């Protein structure tokens, strides 16, 4: 009898628990992706791709100073809606038009908050929505992803919150990623045994710190955040020491939406590269008129150490050298030169040039040659001299490169916005170096043309094609990326002896050229010395012809960690780029994306027969193609291929 009573009690308790939990399902417009949101003692959700379970009972919550949101939630109402629009991009670095189509589920809770979920054909996202009076202190945010089995993780481990987001990728099983291992910054990529790829990042980051992830120690990851800095001490000419921190991660308005947490999910690796999730989830452009924003290529001085040859002046940070850079840029139709560290009297002095440099004359000479100047600054100098934007507009420069932020706490996130907003007031564009990843500010202020936040060519021998092959699927998949490509002194990795005065880049010549098509940036650098570009005229003519704004992107073929081939269109002209890693590839390209029935001319650059050992070996070809063409291309190890079809 006691056994029967006990079993009945168990059944009643189980039934009560089931009744207490309510599940809301949200499917993507095509029905392939589904999110099941469970409201019980907390808010959790599971994500499915077809029949594949991608996330199992992932949890979310937000701890405020006066209590937890998402613990013992009480649902007030659930609302469903649809977003279906086409957005015209003000400054089209990827696509001129973006289709934004998703199904929406908004769960409004008692206590003045809600959670909004969105399901797209290529991913899912959620955010907290708060409706409280005054300011709130956010102590912590619960973001925990639980994987149903061991996934392969591609992450960038960092030892602390002070980071320039320039660490190489680590490839590890989620089951082997330990709780005491180093954390990682966004974006991260997971591969499931069923073949789904899951790209994870955030969007619409505003007045809030960037998220980092650590292992749960139980086949999952959880969020960690830098706290709000309260006091600072001196730490040289380009940084500050945080001497006091708050016990909260953000103090912010109690009536606001919080950053989106999103996953791009697909079995087709091409969709990772093509995704527009950050743009779709971020707030619209705040500039009344963005027509003055002119992306373009830049001749850059720092990487090549101002080394020019065959001239009758002493090369360096001086007027004659920069006029040489301007002459080179003018010859190839490059609209900008950057004057990097050393142009000013000191790194703390943004208004006075060094004695070797007649800056007004350089700016004047550039205008005569249709080449504008961009000036480098540390963020600390900008912060201490915020009037410089107004002054630089009077000088007639085009933009600023702001460097060494190396933080992503709430204070620094707000610095990014203050700087780019003030720059916009004075018709200056911004390129952030020493930066975190794109997370939506570039949509609100399209004068923000690029971010570094990448292990790029600047890192010399550390910049390996075996690491860079992940960039189109990860870092480059969330926004513009200042990788600074273009080494003419190309080398296979084992031969890279790059030094400060003899810069080299790993990967073949065709690989370096293809990066201008593969990587997206509104200020695409020509990192090498003008002398070498002038000596390699036919390569330079191709590189300098590659646009930085585009009408359309199509990924033709891709495999994470192995290769990517993509095509970008501007007007009726297509540029195609392909790169690989330390494994050679033989690929067949289907050119059916070409419109019309006529033939077109294709000019291509490919790895030479000896490029696998002598990386500068390349071959230029001219041929006729049409939409029926099936094109065979061969990439040597660390090789590339690029073409223009017109």
Q: Which domain holds residue 423?
A: 298-546
- Answer whether residue 17 shows pLDDT above 50: no
* pLDDT at residue 1, as a whole number: 47
Domains contained in the chain, number: 2
Angle at 432 between CA 429 and CA 437, to 5 degrees: 125
* pLDDT at residue 21, as a whole number: 80
What is each CA distance from 104 to 68, 78, 117, 282, in whole angstroms?
24, 10, 6, 15
Q: Of 148, 147, 133, 130, which Cα lies nearest the Cα of 70?
A: 130
Cβ–Cβ under 8 Å, residues 564 and 558: yes
* pLDDT at residue 501, as a whole number: 87
Nearest-10 Cα torsion for 463, 469, 473, 478: 30
Dump strand ranges (E) for 404-559.
Answer: 429-432, 448-451, 490-491, 505-506, 525-526, 552-559
How far from chain centre, in Å, is Cα 590? 28
Q: Which of 114-123, 149-158, 590-599 has the weakest average pLDDT?
A: 590-599
Using the 8-state DSSP alphabet, how is residue 28 labeled?
Answer: -
- Answer whether residue 415 shows pLDDT above 60: yes
Banded pLDDT at 10 (limits 50, 70, 90): very low
Q: Mean pLDDT over residues 551-566, rounded?
A: 98
Residues 304 and 268 in one domain: no
Cβ–Cβ under 8 Å, residues 411 and 380: no
Residues 414 and 493 in one domain: yes
CA distance 453 to 150: 28
- 89 in a domain, yes or no? yes
* pLDDT at residue 20, as a whole number: 56
Cβ–Cβ under 8 Å, residues 344 and 353: yes
- 355 in a domain, yes or no? yes
Query: To the nearest whole percent, how much of the chain has pLDDT over 70?
Result: 97
- Answer whether residue 382 shows pLDDT above 50: yes
- 537 in a domain, yes or no? yes
Dump strand ranges (E) for 225-294.
Answer: 229-234, 240-245, 250-257, 260-266
Banded pLDDT at 6 (limits 50, 70, 90): very low
- Answer whether residue 2 shows pLDDT above 80: no
- Answer whether residue 16 shows pLDDT above 60: no
- 624 in a domain, yes or no? no
Chosen domain end from 477, 512, 546: 546
- 626 in a domain, yes or no? no
pLDDT digits (tens, 9 = 90+) for 184-214: 999 999 999 999 999 999 999 999 999 999 9
- 611 in a domain, yes or no? no
Which residues, in sequence order, are bridge partners of residue 170? 155
pLDDT digits (tens, 9 = 90+) for 138-185: 999 999 999 999 999 999 999 999 999 999 999 999 999 999 999 999
Residues 212 and 250 in one domain: yes
Residues 136 and 76 in one domain: yes
* pLDDT at residue 5, as a whole number: 44
Average pLDDT, the chain: 96
Residues 125 and 247 in one domain: yes
pLDDT digits (tens, 9 = 90+) for 23-32: 999 999 999 9
Chosen domain end from 248, 281, 314: 281
**Residue 492 belongs to domain with CATH number:** 3.20.20.70
pLDDT digits (tens, 9 = 90+) for 613-637: 999 999 999 999 999 999 999 999 9
Cβ–Cβ under 8 Å, residues 125 and 199: no
Catalytic residues: 403, 458
Q: Mean pLDDT over residues 340-369, rounded?
A: 97
* pTM for the whole structure: 0.96
Cβ–Cβ under 8 Å, residues 481 and 606: no
- Answer whether residue 313 shows pLDDT above 70: yes
**Residue 23 belongs to domain with CATH number:** 2.70.98.10
- 557 in a domain, yes or no? no
Residues 341 and 207 in one domain: no
CA distance 642 to 565: 9
- 620 in a domain, yes or no? no
């Amino acid at each position: 009898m006691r056994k029967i009573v006990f079993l009945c009690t168990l059944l009643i308790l189980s039934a009560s628990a089931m009744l207490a939990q309510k599940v809301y399902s949200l499917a993507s417009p095509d029905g392939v992706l589904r999110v099941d949101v469970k409201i019980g003692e907390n808010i959790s959700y599971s994500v499915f791709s077809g029949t594949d379970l991608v996330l199992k009972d992932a949890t979310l919550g937000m701890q405020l100073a006066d209590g937890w949101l998402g613990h013992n939630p009480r649902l007030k109402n659930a609302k469903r809606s649809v977003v279906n629009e086409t957005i015209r991009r003000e400054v089209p670095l990827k696509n001129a038009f973006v289709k934004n189509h998703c199904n929406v589920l908004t769960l409004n809770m008692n206590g003045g908050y809600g959670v909004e979920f969105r399901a797209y054909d290529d991913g899912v996202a959620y955010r907290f929505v708060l409706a409280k009076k005054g300011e709130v202190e956010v102590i912590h945010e619960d973001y925990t992803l639980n994987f149903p089995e061991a996934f392969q993780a591609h992450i960038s481990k960092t030892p602390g919150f002070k980071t320039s987001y320039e660490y190489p990728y680590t490839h590890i099983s989620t089951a082997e990623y330990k709780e005491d291992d180093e954390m990682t910054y966004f974006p991260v990529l997971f591969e499931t045994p069923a073949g789904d790829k899951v790209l994870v990042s955030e969007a619409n980051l505003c007045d809030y710190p960037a998220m980092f992830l650590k292992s749960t120690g139980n086949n999952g990851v959880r969020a960690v955040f830098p706290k709000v800095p309260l006091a600072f001490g001196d730490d040289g000419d380009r940084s500050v020491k945080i001497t006091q921190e708050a016990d909260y991660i953000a103090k912010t308005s109690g009536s606001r939406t919080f950053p989106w947490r999103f996953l791009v999910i697909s079995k087709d690796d091409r969709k990772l590269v093509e995704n527009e999730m950050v743009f779709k989830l971020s707030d619209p452009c705040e500039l009344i008129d963005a027509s003055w924003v002119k992306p373009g290529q830049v001749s850059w001085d720092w990487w090549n150490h101002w080394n020019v040859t065959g001239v009758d002046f002493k090369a360096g940070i001086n007027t004659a050298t920069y006029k040489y850079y301007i002459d080179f840029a003018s010859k190839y139709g490059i609209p900008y030169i950057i004057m990097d560290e050393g142009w000013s009297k000191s790194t703390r002095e943004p208004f006075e040039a060094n004695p070797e440099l007649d800056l007004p004359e350089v700016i004047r000479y550039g205008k005569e040659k249709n080449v504008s100047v961009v000036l480098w600054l540390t963020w600390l100098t900008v912060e201490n001299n915020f009037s410089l934007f107004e002054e630089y507009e009077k000088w007639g420069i085009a933009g600023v490169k702001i460097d060494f932020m190396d933080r992503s706490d709430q204070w620094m996130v707000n610095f990014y916005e203050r700087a780019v907003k003030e720059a916009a007031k004075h018709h200056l564009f911004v390129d952030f170096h020493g930066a975190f990843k794109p997370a939506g500010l570039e949509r609100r202020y399209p004068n923000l043309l690029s971010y570094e936040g990448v292990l790029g060519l600047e890192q010399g021998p550390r910049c390996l094609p075996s690491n860079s092959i992940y960039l189109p699927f990860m870092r480059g998949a969330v926004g513009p990326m200042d990788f600074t490509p273009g080494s003419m002194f190309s080398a296979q990795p084992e031969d890279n002896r790059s030094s400060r005065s003899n810069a080299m880049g790993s990967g073949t010549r065709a690989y370096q050229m293809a990066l201008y098509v593969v990587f997206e940036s509104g200020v695409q650098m020509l990192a090498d010395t003008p002398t070498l570009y002038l000596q390699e005229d036919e390569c330079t003519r191709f590189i300098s012809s590659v646009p930085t704004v585009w009408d359309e992107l199509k990924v033709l073929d891709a495999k994470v960690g192995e290769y990517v081939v993509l095509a970008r269109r501007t007007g009726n002209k297509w540029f195609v780029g392909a790169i690989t890693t330390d494994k050679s590839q033989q690929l067949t390209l289907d050119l059916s994306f070409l419109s019309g029935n006529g033939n077109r001319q294709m000019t291509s650059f490919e790895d030479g027969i000896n490029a696998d050992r002598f990386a500068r070996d390349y071959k230029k070809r001219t041929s006729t193609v049409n939409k029926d063409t099936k094109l065979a291309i061969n990439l040597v190890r660390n090789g590339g291929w690029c073409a223009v079809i017109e």
